[in-house]
Structure 1
């Protein structure tokens, strides 16, 4: 019934990357008229290239360029026909050369590595297989795995390189499936880390049903016999190991390839293989370059190039260690990640390095956790040791400067990435000094806060008045279930004269990570929760609570110290998060363009769309006709007449200030009906005592709906009454009457009517069902939340569950 606008993974990426683009550190346009690998031309300046993945520098090799030109002259720019009809001689030659490179194993070449994954996964995976994805396996692997769900294949995910979790999952599912596929990267593209092939060999020996599927695109060329890559060098290919690699990156060209030791897998893929047959083959230009690269890989030259890159890697590792930089990458790969922490620090850090004339990459959430973003760079044979000296000197100088300038602690950043900070004479570390004119008050109960002060700020913001908070604290304490017990954390910032500058509250509670996920995802997860009730749940520190909505923060933005008050707020949140061991922090609900929005993004929080809020602010109306005259939509007017007014006389509606225990139980059951039916906003049900507690407080009332002549309660509204507003927070329904009597539409009308009858300036109609509320002229206001997570595994797992 209730529909909301769901937050989408791509929306988060869009927000983060758009912000980085505006800062000039991502989606940069280069201006060079020719490229030899050493430098980019950006905004009229030449920048040393530490950003591309052509590790061996073969993309500018004269043999590859000559091969590309020669084959283009012979065969033109393309062969516009499916491989299912004709496989030209030059592609046959390339695949035969690649087969030699992989010791005679069969190879199929594709226009891209992504196309190879789409082709192979769709062909070799069966409905009775199980796929287990490493959390950080490349998106080009994860995407086609989602499509296998359509044939009934189950897809699971394990934490990154967590082999204990992998083995446990193999054991638990071993007798349920014909084959179990573990899919991972040979070299991970963000941190440059490597899989533990020794453990994987042991697992292969121990579990005959286990198969390995690797994307080794970043391992190709620079390592192994014939440059066949990291995985082939360590594990080889077998009937239980499939390797997908690349003709790009270290290989120096464009395209992808699949390597098979299993002849039947090869045959089935070669005969159709999805995009292998319904899309264009590699162009002659690409194949000409690839043939030349393959011949280099089959010659002794490949070992010279590997040795030259290895020498640069050793020198880079030595320099990073000397400079005590927060490098968390493997010393055995040419991909490096220097941790800098918060997004705002990383943007500052990267911008500083770009200004020094060195091009590097930015790595931010959601690819890495919010507080663990960093500067990523790659090493190629185009670089020199002098380039390495310039880069490492620049990073050592600018990392602490960027941290300090953004108000973070250098010591904290180093600790976050597992490093001990070494104080040096040429590196003076200065902690930011807070303005002492502000006084911070922290509380864990509303009872310790002055009623007049709190109500001055919050009495007309939903149900978070002083009395409303007392009620909330009573409901969510002293309960048996962990998810029903919340901790409350209040912060009030004043100046020395006692003037209020900032105030808000947070609650610590167990949240379902799929709270605003797609409904089909939550349904899948709820099946698991029948036996594992806290599956994909996290201890969360959230602004406001799940028993209220609206504007939870008071700010005097005219006060000269309000920005400093926000710094105190961030310190408060960090401290409370640690005290309650929360893994997720959420700031909500913010309208677009608010004062705090950019500060939250700079602090490392990721912007995400929340459900809209809906507010009625009509002038007073006395008759139904006057109500309809306030509405602009003829369709809405006709709908209300047809489905609301027509059925109104079939209902008895009662308003009560207090409920008996028996009545409260009936109300709660109707609430549970709605809760169980609605996956659009998925949270744990409120405690059973909720209605009984509400009945004790004078600012709550209850609307009850019955069919005329019947004693059966079929609908209810729990209504908070403020001084100048009304807030119908919770609805309960008997779904048997939804279609026959249009019960929900009747309840919606009474939400609006009751607020009007009480003479309130505003009625907060709550989240979800925007369309129904807009019929009465409600203004739907888009809300945004800001999210920070310690570990992105749960988010990645949720993404993998979506269809």
Structure 2
């Protein structure tokens, strides 16, 4: 089965002029390869069972979280109105950062307007020309782009290969080095060897930056993340980044670490200095979500039970976090299976290149803590029926 080419691409094409005429050919090539993307528009009046979002704890619709956003709107209005350094920092931002730092076990935290900007800002502020960055093949695009924009020398090693990290650090000539990794890899929900990476960095005088986007609320004591689970919360020369848009059900990003790190980012991180601050409603929702999680630290356990149940229902291995990855191979059957699930009332993720390697297109199911057993079982049945309908097999 192939993905249909958008109808407008079969015409003579828009009058783009010679400089942009290549866009039409490129679009046709993507469509023929099953790589055209048409954002799905959700309708609140006819909701699907959502297993595509990263709302791991189901807090985006929690009444206390919604109330937190409303209260922030009432007090501060709809926007931060400027950079955080001009007048875009509110008491709400400060309270959120203080409570995030306490939750993560770090001296300080700084909130950005997205997780992407937090990662780019942190990396470019910590590494530059004359520095070395050691990254791996599983890192998120925001980490990759931060490495590229830093202008540092970048060495990429295989995912989880801490021995290769040691070798890269041992052979460096640069005075400063930064190791960069996700704690939970977003594509398949598997963990990085955080203890070993920290030891490798520490032994060679390097800092370690860990993106906890898919671990906060999912792993660690009370959902404090994989770094905390490894006993490294607040460790020296360790930087934690994360998001407020997944388990916290809101929007925004964060960087946590030492007080001197926070000061450095405020003075040097371009994605903080030159960006409008996180809007008050998102800050209020995130703060309310954090308080809900801290008041009920059983959320990660309920999430874990649902992950185990759904993985068994789908006949898949149980992952280490909240992502179940069902590899089918080529993009076309993955797209068709995702559409078949949607037709049955279940929204699932469909990951294709460049999000994953060629030949590993997949359905990506992100489990939530707020699903009951009957819903989890129904989702598993729908996924298997949809795969059978389009003739796709899980590899």
Q: Which band: TM-score by shorter chain?
A: 0.7 to 0.9
Q: Is the 8 A contact 1:50 1:378 kept in 2?
A: yes
Deviations 1:194-216 (A, max 9, x none): 102243244245x2323211111
Pairs within 5 Å for 1:147-158: 147-149=149-151, 153-158=152-157
Pairs within 5 Å for 1:42-57: 46-57=47-58
Q: Is the 8 A contact 1:84 1:277 kept in 2?
A: yes
C-alpha distance in 2, partners of 1:368/1:188?
12
C-alpha distance in 1, partners of 2:254/2:358?
34
C-alpha distance in 2, partners of 1:228/1:204?
22
Change (3 A) 1:397 1:139: same
- Which residue in the other structure is 1:163 paired with? 162
Deviations 1:3-43 (A, max 9, x none): xx9xx9xx979954786587xx852222224xxxxxxx3xx
Question: Does 2:151 match 1:143?
Answer: no
Query: By how many angstroms is 1:133 displaced?
Result: 1.6
- Which residue in the other structure is 1:334 paired with? 322
Q: Is the 8 A contact 2:222 2:298 kept in 1?
A: no
Pairs within 5 Å for 1:234-313: 234=230, 235-261=232-258, 263-299=259-295, 301=296, 303-313=297-307
Query: By how many angstroms is 1:398 displaced?
Result: 4.2
C-alpha distance in 2, partners of 1:195/1:163?
9
Question: Does 2:311 match 1:317?
Answer: yes
Query: By how many angstroms is 1:316 displaced?
Result: 1.9
Whose RCO is larger (CA < 8 A, sep 6+)?
A: 2
Q: Is the 8 A contact 1:255 1:282 kept in 2?
A: yes
Pairs within 5 Å for 1:428-507: none
Q: Which runs of at least 4 in structure 1 moved beyond 6 Å after TM superposition? A: 11-14
Deviations 1:230-277 (A, max 9, x none): 23332323332111111110012111110013x332221123422322
C-alpha distance in 1, partners of 2:375/2:262?
44
List alignment gaps of at least 5 residues for structure 2: 1-18
C-alpha distance in 2, partners of 1:12/1:137?
26
C-alpha distance in 2, partners of 1:61/1:97?
19
C-alpha distance in 2, partners of 1:139/1:218?
14
Secondary structure at the counterpart of residue 214 of structure 2 = helix
- Which residue in the other structure is 1:190 paired with? 187
C-alpha distance in 2, partners of 1:183/1:14?
36
Question: Does 2:178 match 1:181?
Answer: yes
Query: By how many angstroms is 1:225 displaced?
Result: 2.7
C-alpha distance in 2, partners of 1:366/1:307?
33
List alignment gaps of at least 5 residues for structure 1: 34-40, 405-409, 418-803
**Which has the larger strand fraction?**
1
Pairs within 5 Å for 1:102-141: 102-141=104-143
Change (3 A) 1:212 1:371: same
Name which one, 1 or 2, has greater alpha-carbon Rg: 1
Alignment RMSD (CA, Å): 2.7
Secondary structure at the counterpart of residue 403 of structure 1 = coil
C-alpha distance in 2, partners of 1:274/1:285?
23
Secondary structure at the counterpart of residue 285 of structure 2 = helix
Query: By how many angstroms is 1:162 displaced?
Result: 2.8
Q: Is the 8 A contact 1:49 1:383 kept in 2?
A: no
C-alpha distance in 1, partners of 2:351/2:27?
12
Q: Is the 8 A contact 1:186 1:214 kept in 2?
A: yes
Of 325, 335, 349 in structure 2, the residue corresponding to residue 347 of structure 1 is 335
Secondary structure at the counterpart of residue 376 of structure 1 = strand
C-alpha distance in 1, partners of 2:28/2:158?
25
